[in-house]
Amino acid sequence: MAMFQLDMNATFKILKILEKSKLKSEEVFTKIPGVVMIISGEGRVLKGNSFLSEILGCYSDELHTKSLADILIEENYKLFFKNLETTTDTVGGKNFETKLTIAGDSSLKIYSWDVSFLTSFQDRSVDTYLAVGRDITDVRIIQEKLVDANKNLEEKVRQRTVDLENAMNELKNLQGTMVSNARMASLGEMAGNMAHEINNPLTIIKHSGKSIKKSLLKKKFSDERVEKFLVRIDQTVDRMAAIIANLKGFSRDASNDPHTTVTIQEIVEESVFLIREKMTSVGINLEVDIEKVKNEPLVCSKVPLTQVIVNILTNAYDFIKNLDNKWIKITVEKTDEVFIFSIIDSGEGIPFENRDRIFEPFFTTKELGDGQGLGLSIAVGIVEKQHNGSLEVDGDCENTKFVMKIPRDLEGAS
Ligand SMILES: Nc1ncnc2c1ncn2[C@@H]1O[C@H](COP(=O)(O)OP(=O)(O)OP(=O)(O)O)[C@@H](O)[C@H]1O
Ligand SMILES: [Mg+2]
């Protein structure tokens, strides 16, 4: 009897424990925040939680009368089944998404389902599945919005890139125009110089002609005297022809000129030739010291390099013409590798903060309308790109000093 009593007690205890764990699992079943249902292989609902009854708009004791067809719209119903058929693995399960409508709500919701095969639910002759579904509509909406926003952003970036490219092209064209304007402006300046330069020879020719005429009228002329005047006229005409030829060289685009070999003297004298008279007219003392290297050969693009020196000399002219002490000195020296052209003027140098900026296009300290700020940027382009050289300000000099280095062996020049 005592034995029986003991067994009853043990059984009672076990039943209690079982009841407790059943309640616990029921609680878990109902409290999972989403749809939990057990369905048969044909889609019949065998059990479901309160979320499922909410979706279906029915009482929980009516759930067993429902099937997947009541929960899902048609195309998704088929999809659900397809997934059920292939969910035979009890361990892994399946995850997929479907759309469904909820009772009393016309909008479509998106659900993410985790389905696994159950082996031990009630009747073993029927395939049963545990399906847990979560409403992920909001997540998907946010994702779609993000994708849209991303697409918009990409489109905006693409559009901005196109705008930027167009602006760059416009800027390039504009810069081209400005550079060509600058060339034309310096041509204008040159034409001014020419007026000075040509005026003198014209006076010489006129004077020589007059002298010959006078001698003829007085019938007091010797062959030598006439010849002297004729030679002078001839030389002066040659000089004028040279001036005009120079002006012509300046007016065309010489940026692609091939390299030729000239002497240091030729390049310096031709540059000075184009501006000497203008300098003299305002009392600038121009000194050239190239004696040691004057016959050295220099491989260069002659017209552009002349333009560089003229641009530097023109700047010197502009910045010292109103000083009391006005002078410019040009020297050329050589090392094993380079010719060093130094152009120094009596100004007080370039302020430290401007030393790098003066070579930038459009940087100018001249009054508005007086300069475009292109002279030095054009010069530096010609020196570096066409001659593989360098153009810098010598900040250690107490005056304004520009130093241009041109390789003696231009093999490597581009
Ligand atoms: N010899 C110099 N003395 C003092 N400042 C100079 C001298 N040469 C150049 N600079 C400075 O460098 C700036 C840029 O010179 P750059 O030749 O490029 O342009 P710009 O002379 O101002 O104008 P542009 O040459 O187009 O007429 C000048 O505005 C000036 O500030
Ligand atoms: Mg200038």
CATH for 302 = 3.30.565.10
CA distances from 378 to 5, 132, 180, 182, 276 (A): 114, 75, 10, 9, 22
Asked whether residue 273 falls in the same domain as residue 410, the answer is: yes
In a domain, 21, yes or no: no
Q: How far apart are the C-alpha atoms of 247 and 10, rounded to whole Å? A: 123
Of 142, 161, 184, the residue at which a domain comes to its end is: 142
Asked whether residue 248 falls in the same domain as residue 260, the answer is: no
Q: Is ligand 1 within 6 A of the CB of residue 293? A: no
Number of Cβ within 10 Å of residue 277's Cβ equals 17
In a domain, 266, yes or no: yes
Q: What is the mean pLDDT of residues 290-309?
A: 92
Kindly give the distance from the C-alpha atom of residue 315 to the centroid of ligand 2, in angstroms, as a whole number.
5
Asked whether residue 135 falls in the same domain as residue 185, the answer is: no
Asked whether residue 275 falls in the same domain as residue 330, the answer is: yes
Of 253, 282, 297, the residue at which a domain comes to its end is: 253
Closest residue (by CA) to atom 17 of ligand 1? 375
In a domain, 26, yes or no: no
Asked whether residue 298 falls in the same domain as residue 349, the answer is: yes
Q: Determine which helix (DSSP H) or strand (DSSP E) holds 329, and give its type and residue range.
A: strand 327-334
The tens digit of pLDDT for each residue in 121-145 reads 555 566 788 888 888 988 888 888 8
Q: What angle do CA 318, 404, 313 make, to 5 degrees?
A: 20
> According to the model, what pLDDT value does residue 172 have?
79
Pairing relation of β-strands 285-289 and 327-334?
parallel
Number of domains in the chain: 3
Asked whether residue 242 falls in the same domain as residue 280, the answer is: no
Which structural domain, as residue segments, surrounds residue 201? Answer: 176-253
Q: Is ligand 1 within 6 A of the CB of residue 76? A: no
In a domain, 358, yes or no: yes
Asked whether residue 185 falls in the same domain as residue 262, the answer is: no
Q: Is ligand 1 within 6 A of the CB of residue 389? A: no
What are residue 116's DSSP bridge partners?
130
Kindly give the distance from the C-alpha atom of residue 316 to the centroid of ligand 1, in angstroms, as a whole number.
8
Kindly report the backbone phi and psi dihedral angles of residue 115, in degrees, each rounded to the nearest multiple of 5, phi listed first.
Answer: -120, 135
> According to the model, what pLDDT value does residue 196 have?
60
Higher pLDDT: 311 or 247? It is 311
Q: Is ligand 1 within 6 A of the CB of residue 366? A: yes
CA distances from 228 to 128, 218, 225, 285 (A): 128, 18, 5, 31
The tens digit of pLDDT for each residue in 218-251 reads 777 677 777 888 888 887 787 777 667 666 666 6
What are residue 401's DSSP bridge partners?
344
Q: What is the CATH classification number for the domain harbouring 45?
A: 3.30.450.20
The tens digit of pLDDT for each residue in 256-276 reads 778 899 999 999 998 998 888
Q: What is the CATH classification number for the domain harbouring 200?
A: 1.10.287
Closest residue (by CA) to atom 12 of ligand 1? 358
| 15's tokens | 């039943």
3-state secondary structure of 270: helix
Asked whether residue 247 falls in the same domain as residue 130, the answer is: no
Asked whether residue 385 falls in the same domain as residue 264, the answer is: yes
> According to the model, what pLDDT value does residue 414 have?
42
